[in-house]
């Protein structure tokens, strides 16, 4: 079994940044994950420091991969399926193809996974009028017509935010709002109770069809149905979760979790789910893991 000083779970911006900083400190580093699973892969970024023009997320992601490899980090295009804290306080990581690795420190940068798709052809519209992040993409829909599909507070928040940008905002709840719609009463949002059935448009989003053949014309669709972190994967490690939501990992300012030697960064630590936050936390996690290893050698 091959051993590394640091294994990073997740090959998105947080994981890659953690890899860059820890590898630059001359640690043996393995980054596990599939870049195309990152939310950045299909995104277009307009609010990242230093870039005046819109950046292609996929291009930025692969530039980060090249940079991490330049400093010596190894990257394996496989997902971790099992994480285990061993008796000697090291960590066992097993991949989907049965490969096993051992680490002295672990950085969790898995991100969050969206819930089940609600449209048959959902994937083909991502980045072409379909988004999963209002905070990321609302700016692109200034003066346009948009629909928010949500299942509770996430959808309500998205609809309220979009009223600052869009000309027309529809909100389509996927379940009973149980009074949450009261939060929209002072906002110019039209609520549609029918169930969405199909996205209209050949190359990009043009509208929505509902059961019963009702349809609306929109330029953009935001699916805000919350997110599921990789809690099942990390549960055996015993890290504490955020006490308010129990949906994210609790960390301190050094990105240290409640378990010594385990750090977390990016979307897994909670909102805002933004590129700049992920990169910043990845930097801290990488440096903190390095400091942790140094302190172990000194004792």
- Express as a percent the part of the chain with pLDDT over 90: 61
- What local confidence, expressed as pLDDT, does residue 166 receive? 98
| N-term to C-term CA, the chain | 26
- What local confidence, expressed as pLDDT, does residue 229 receive? 45
What is the pLDDT confidence band of residue 152, given thresholds at 50, 70 and 90? Answer: low
* Rounded mean pLDDT, 47-76: 92
Would you say 140 and 158 are in contact if contact means Cβ atoms under 8 Å apart? no
Assign a CATH topology to domain 122-225: FAD/NAD(P)-binding domain (3.50.50)
Would you say 57 and 41 are in contact if contact means Cβ atoms under 8 Å apart? yes
Would you say 5 and 51 are in contact if contact means Cβ atoms under 8 Å apart? no
Reduced 3-state DSSP string for the chain: CEEEEEEEECCCHHHHHHHHHHHHCCCCEEEECCHHHCHHHHCEECCCCCCCCCEEHHHHHHHHHHHHHHCCCEEECCCEEEEEECCCCCEEEEECCCCEEEEEEEEECCCEEECCCCCCCHHHHECCCEECCHHHHHHHHCCCEEEEEECCHHHHHHHHHHCCCCCEEEEEECCCCCCHHHHHCCCCEEECCCCEEEEECCCCCCEEEECCCCEEECCEEEEECCEEECHHHHHHHCCCECCCCCCCECCCCCCECCCCCEEECHHHHCCCCCHHHHHHHHHHHHHHHHHHHHHHHHC
- For the segment 215-236, what is each residue's pLDDT rounded down to a tens digit? 999 999 999 875 444 677 898 8
Distance between CA atoms of residues 81 and 197, nearest Å: 34
CATH number for the domain formed by residue range(s) 2-113+229-298: 3.50.50.60
Q: How far is CA 171 from CA 26, 81, 145, 175, 226, in A?
A: 50, 37, 11, 12, 15
Per the listing, tokens 């939501």 go with 245
Would you say 154 and 226 are in contact if contact means Cβ atoms under 8 Å apart? yes
What is the pLDDT confidence band of residue 81, given thresholds at 50, 70 and 90? Answer: confident
More confident residue, 176 or 77: 77
- For the segment 262-295, what is each residue's pLDDT rounded down to a tens digit? 999 999 998 888 999 999 999 999 999 999 999 9
Count CB-CB contacts under 10 A for residue 246: 11
Domain ranges of the chain: 2-113+229-298, 122-225
Count CB-CB contacts under 10 A for residue 163: 17
What is the pLDDT confidence band of residue 113, given thresholds at 50, 70 and 90? Answer: low
Query: Phi and psi of 217, rounded to 5°?
Result: -95, 125
Count CB-CB contacts under 10 A for residue 112: 20
- What local confidence, expressed as pLDDT, does residue 31 receive? 98
Fold: same for 2-113+229-298 and 122-225: yes
Distance between CA atoms of residues 238 and 258, nearest Å: 8
What is the pLDDT confidence band of residue 115, given thresholds at 50, 70 and 90? Answer: low
Residue 232, C-beta contacts closer than 8 angstroms, at least 6 positions apart: none
């Amino acid at each position: 079994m091959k051993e590394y000083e640091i294994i990073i779970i997740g090959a998105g911006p947080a994981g890659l940044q953690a890899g860059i900083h820890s590898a630059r400190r001359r640690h043996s580093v393995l980054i596990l994950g599939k870049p195309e699973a990152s939310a950045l892969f299909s995104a277009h970024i307009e609010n990242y420091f230093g870039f005046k023009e819109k950046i292609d997320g996929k291009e930025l992601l692969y530039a980060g991969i090249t940079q991490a490899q330049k400093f010596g980090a190894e990257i394996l295009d496989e997902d971790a399926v099992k994480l285990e804290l061993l008796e000697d306080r090291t960590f066992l990581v097993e991949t989907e193809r049965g490969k096993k690795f051992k680490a002295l420190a672990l950085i969790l940068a898995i991100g969050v996974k969206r819930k089940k798709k609600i449209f048959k052809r959902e994937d083909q519209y991502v980045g072409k009028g379909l988004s999963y992040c209002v905070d990321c993409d609302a700016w692109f829909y200034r003066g346009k017509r948009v629909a928010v599909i949500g299942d509770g507070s996430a959808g309500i928040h998205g609809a309220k935010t979009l009223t600052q940008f869009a000309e027309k905002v529809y909100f389509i709840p996927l379940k009973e709002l149980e009074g949450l719609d009261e939060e929209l009463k002072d906002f110019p949002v039209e609520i549609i109770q029918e169930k969405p059935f199909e996205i209209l448009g050949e190359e990009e989003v043009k509208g929505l069809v509902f059961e019963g053949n009702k349809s609306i014309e929109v330029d953009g669709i935001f699916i805000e149905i919350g997110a599921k972190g990789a809690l099942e994967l990390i549960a055996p490690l015993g890290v504490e979760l955020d006490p308010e939501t129990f949906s994210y990992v609790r960390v301190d300012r050094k990105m240290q979790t409640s378990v010594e030697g385990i750090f977390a960064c990016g979307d897994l630590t909670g909102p805002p789910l933004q590129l700049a936050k992920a990169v910043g936390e990845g930097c801290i996690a990488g440096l903190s893991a390095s400091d942790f290893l140094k302190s172990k050698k000194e004792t």
